[in-house]
Amino acid sequence: MTRSQRPHRKLRGGRQAAVDPNERRREILETAARLICENGYKGTSLRDIAEACGLTKAGLYHYCKSKDHLLFEIMGYGMDIFEEQVLDRVMPIADPVERLRTCMRLNVRLVTDDRTKEVTIILHEHATLMGEARAQINARKKRYVRFLESSFTEAIRDGRLRPVDPRVAAFSFLGQVLWIYKWFRADGAIPAERLALEMEKLFFEGLEIQPAAGEPATQEERVH
C-alpha cells in the first residue's frame, strides 16, 4: 500500500492524519467481532462490517480477502490476546497447582471481559472455520490443552492433586471455564472477580491434597 493509499483520519480544519495500519486492523477486527457476537456469523455481512468501520466494502478488502478470512483473522487475534493475558503469564510459575489456579482465574476474567469479543468468537464459532484456517486455530488451542495436561500430570506426580487422569482433568477445567460466556452477564448478580474465585474453589478443593498435620503449607496454600 502506497502512502497515498494509507487510511487517514480527518482532523480539524480539514487536515488528515495517517492512521497506523496495525491500529486500524485492530479496530476492524474488534468491530467485526462485536457485530458477529451480536448478530451471528451468518447474520453479519461484510457490508455491515465495512459501514461500522467507516469503510466501503471495497475498502474493507484492503484488510481481508473474504468473510471467512476475516473470521480467521478475528480468531487469530483472539488467540493472541489469550496467550498474552493468560498462557504467557502462567507458564513461568514453578508450582504446578499455583500455575493451574492462576490460569483458571485469568481465563475466567478474560472470558467474562465484555471487551474481548474475539475470544468469545473462538468459542462460539469454532465449527465455522474450515480447512487450513481451522487447522491453524486448532493447533493453537491444542497448545493450551497440552499445557493443562502437563501441569496436571506434574501436580499429580508431586502428590499435590488426587490421582485422576490428567486429560480428563484438563478437559474438565476447560469445560468449566469456557462455557461461562453462554450464561455470564456483566450486569448480573455475580461480579466477574467473585466468579473467578468461586470457580477456582469449586474445581480445586475437590482435587487438591491437603498437607498432613504438622507439615508446612506451601506459599500457594497460604495465599488461598
- Map out the domains of the chain with their CATH numbers: 72-210 (1.10.357.10)
The radius of gyration computed from the CA coordinates of the chain, to the nearest angstrom, equals: 21
- 105 pLDDT above the threshold of 90: yes
Rounded mean pLDDT of 8-23? 55
How many Cβ atoms are within 10 Å of 143's Cβ, its own excluded? 12
Please report the pLDDT score of residue 212 as a whole number. Answer: 65
Beta-ladder partners of 18: 8
pLDDT of 57 higher than 50: yes
* pLDDT score for 115: 74
Beta-strand pair 16-18/8-10: antiparallel
Over residues 170-178, the mean pLDDT reads: 94
Query: Can you give the pLDDT at residue 15?
Result: 44
Check residues 220 and 32 and name the one with the higher pLDDT: 32
Q: Which range is least confidently modeled, 135-139, 193-197, 214-218?
A: 214-218
Whether the per-residue pLDDT at 10 is higher than 90: the answer is: no
pLDDT at 46: 95
Residue with cell string 482532523: 11
- Give the model's pLDDT for residue 188: 87
For the record, the C-alpha cell of 97 comes out as: 497447582
Q: Using alpha carbons only, what angle is made at residue 91 by residues 115 and 203, rounded to the nearest 5 degrees? A: 70
H or E stretch covering 107: helix 96-112
Q: What share of the chain is helix, strand, coil (3-state, %, to 5)?
A: 65, 5, 30
Cα–Cα distance between 73 and 60 in angstroms, integer?
13
Of 133, 137, 150, the C-alpha closest to 96 is 150
DSSP 161: B
Quick one: pLDDT band at residue 223, thresholds 50, 70, 90? very low
What is the model's pTM? 0.80
Would you say 31 and 49 are in contact if contact means Cβ atoms under 8 Å apart? yes
